[in-house]
Chains A and B, each alone.
Chain A
Amino acid sequence: MSDASADTALPIFLDYQATTPTDPRVVEAMLPYFNEHFGNPHSVHHLYGRDASDAVERARADIAALIGAEAREVVFTSGATESNNLAIKGACRFLRDRKRHLITLASEHKCVLESARRMEAEGYRVTLLDPGPDGLLDPARLAAAIEADTALVSVMAVNNEIGVIQPLAEIGALCRERGVLFHSDAAQAAGKIPLDVNAMAIDLLSLSGHKMYGPKGIGALYVRRRPRVRLEPLFDGGGQERGHRSGTLPAPLCVGLGKAAEIALGEMAAESERLARFNARFRTLLSEGLEDVQVNGALDPRFPGNLNVSFPGLEAEALIAALPALAVSTGSACTSASVEPSYVLRSLGLPDARARGGLRIGFGRFTTVDEIERAAAILVAAVRRLRGQASAAAE
């Protein structure tokens, strides 16, 4: 939502995978629940509580509608990290007597990988599958990895660094057939690509408010009721959310998540089409101005709001330093001594140099055509400069 021109200090925001601005319509929906209808939604005995509770339950239904679930199957959490922790640890611990194996992808978000690592410390075996060079999981590879005591498979729907869309329906069908729970981290997918937990045979699904133009600090976990999925909760307390997640529900945040879901459901198709045009235009402008632009991850199936590119010979950190007018990211972690190449790009089998060069660019709801055109020009100029070529006028 920045009103950036070449002269102002605000860079063009192209980091929509990191976070999204809260849609003004969402902010407006939330505000009354801070200091007007401020009741605790669990205070069932008076109007203040009941008003808040009604609003929370409407929001719950809107979130369920976004993914084809029933309202009772939606559990509010503090965000996708908590949802992922609850899904993986909760499901595996509940099944501890019979099942001691879980499977996930090497390109998953850190909170999934770390939760899996925690289960390993608790005596479970973890299989980390590599995606293919395009970032996609081959279902045959998954089928070969499933064992008699596999509790859970966790595969994210849309990757946060490269935007590729995993074959969810195929994975779900395979897991259903083999009696294994299927969890999907849909933080980057919810509200952006169509999701249907029944068509895709998903048992557990995580989503995040601030990735879908909702408020920060709220997310949800879908927990299937038929057949019943049980979880050992992370928190002990008042037993809210049917024992799944104790803690007073933050009514304004819940309302905001619901509003964000309602908006996304209605605008998804048009937004997707717009983002696809932006993505194509941006790539065209890059390839017109530069030779040798490498796109990381399959272009199809991919969420069109994501682009991840490497420019041979250039490190992303150096490139970002030369791009003060753009807000983009590297998707790589900085250590004190050196820059680690992105573990996601490395999991694709890309050589370190290319993994170190990956620039993540995210388009979103408030991106304009003007921003795309200017950003591409700025990026082309910076790459040329760094490559020692003169920045030329359009040929």
Chain B
Amino acid sequence: MPKMVFIKPDGSRQEVEAPAGLSILEIAHRNGIDIEGACEGQMACATCHVIVDAEWDPRLPEPSEDEEDMLDLAIGVTETSRLGCQIVVTEALDGLTVRLPAETRNMLLV
């Protein structure tokens, strides 16, 4: 079973089981990690914005234009930002580490 690590805004790390085939958003919800996911994975809210560890970012598949468009609107977007609802865990991503931004903005409400 792959594992992944969430680094929370306060700096604490939580390692969780990350079954292959689930998205980062789904894994977060299963483990009580505070990612809103207001639009339930439709790329419409940007609340699942995560900052992927620099070492892991190149190993992820490229984002779609729609994902990039939503990331443009996320608070504190960085070079390695992604939407957690769009990244599906695989065996190859065992150990994937992401950081949660300090704040998010729900684009459904803007």
Q: For this complex, into which size category does the number of interface residues on chain A fall?
A: 10 to 19
B71 / chain A contacts, CB cutoff of 8 Å: 228
Given contacts A97-B78, A97-B79, A225 and B73 within 8 Å (CB-CB): no
* Chain B CB within 8 A of A173 CB: no
A242–B78 touching, CB < 8 Å: no
Contact for B65 among A94, A95, A97, A226, CB less than 8 A: A226
Within the complex, the shortest CB–CB distance from A41 to chain B, in Å, comes to: 18
- Closest B-chain residue to A244, C-beta based? B72
B65–A230 touching, CB < 8 Å: no
Within the complex, the shortest CB–CB distance from A22 to chain B, in Å, comes to: 33
Within the complex, the shortest CB–CB distance from B27 to chain A, in Å, comes to: 25
For B, the interface residue count at a CB cutoff of 8 angstroms equals 10
B73–A98 touching, CB < 8 Å: no
B79–A225 touching, CB < 8 Å: no
Given contacts A97-B78, A97-B79, A228 and B68 within 8 Å (CB-CB): yes
Within the complex, the shortest CB–CB distance from B75 to chain A, in Å, comes to: 10
CA distance A225 to B72 in the complex (A): 11
B72–A243 touching, CB < 8 Å: yes
Within the complex, the shortest CB–CB distance from A98 to chain B, in Å, comes to: 7
CA distance A94 to B77 in the complex (A): 9
**Using a CB-CB cutoff of 8 Å, which residues 212-259 of chain A contact chain B?**
225-226, 228, 230, 239, 242-243
Interface centre among A225, A228, A239 (most CB of B within 10 A): A228
CA distance A230 to B79 in the complex (A): 8
Residues of B with Cβ closer than 8 Å to A? 65, 68-69, 71-73, 77-79, 110
B79–A98 touching, CB < 8 Å: yes
A243–B79 touching, CB < 8 Å: no
Within the complex, the shortest CB–CB distance from B105 to chain A, in Å, comes to: 10
Task: List 7 contacting pairs A-B, 8 Å CB cutoff, sorted by A.
Answer: A94-B79, A225-B65, A225-B68, A228-B68, A228-B71, A242-B72, A242-B73
B73–A230 touching, CB < 8 Å: no
A 90-111 binary contact with B (CB < 8 Å = 1; else 0):
0000110110000000000000
B68 / chain A contacts, CB cutoff of 8 Å: 225, 228
Contact for B79 among A95, A239, A242, CB less than 8 A: A95
Can you add 9 more A-B contacts, CB < 8 Å, to A228-B71, A243-B72, A243-B73? A97-B79, A226-B65, A228-B68, A230-B72, A230-B79, A239-B110, A242-B69, A242-B72, A242-B73
B72 / chain A contacts, CB cutoff of 8 Å: 228, 230, 242-243
Query: Closest 3 interchain pairs by CB?
Result: A228-B68, A242-B72, A243-B73
B78 / chain A contacts, CB cutoff of 8 Å: 97
Interface centre among B68, B72, B73 (most CB of A within 10 A): B72
A94 / chain B contacts, CB cutoff of 8 Å: 79
Within the complex, the shortest CB–CB distance from B70 to chain A, in Å, comes to: 11
Within the complex, the shortest CB–CB distance from B13 to chain A, in Å, comes to: 20
B73 / chain A contacts, CB cutoff of 8 Å: 239, 242-243
- Closest A-chain residue to B68, C-beta based? A228
A243 / chain B contacts, CB cutoff of 8 Å: 72-73
B65 / chain A contacts, CB cutoff of 8 Å: 225-226
CA distance A97 to B53 in the complex (A): 13
B110 / chain A contacts, CB cutoff of 8 Å: 239
CA distance A225 to B79 in the complex (A): 14
CA distance A226 to B67 in the complex (A): 12
CA distance A230 to B68 in the complex (A): 10
**Using a CB-CB cutoff of 8 Å, which residues 342-373 of chain A contact chain B?**
none
Within the complex, the shortest CB–CB distance from B42 to chain A, in Å, comes to: 19
Within the complex, the shortest CB–CB distance from B82 to chain A, in Å, comes to: 12
- Closest A-chain residue to B67, C-beta based? A228
**Using a CB-CB cutoff of 8 Å, which residues 116-143 of chain A contact chain B?**
none
- Closest A-chain residue to B73, C-beta based? A243
**Using a CB-CB cutoff of 8 Å, which residues 62-109 of chain A contact chain B?**
94-95, 97-98
CA distance A239 to B110 in the complex (A): 10
CA distance A249 to B68 in the complex (A): 24
A242 / chain B contacts, CB cutoff of 8 Å: 69, 72-73
B69 / chain A contacts, CB cutoff of 8 Å: 242
Interface centre among A226, A230, A242 (most CB of B within 10 A): A230
Within the complex, the shortest CB–CB distance from B18 to chain A, in Å, comes to: 26
CA distance A324 to B73 in the complex (A): 54
A230 / chain B contacts, CB cutoff of 8 Å: 72, 77, 79
CA distance A42 to B73 in the complex (A): 17
CA distance A230 to B73 in the complex (A): 11
A239 / chain B contacts, CB cutoff of 8 Å: 73, 110
CA distance A98 to B78 in the complex (A): 11
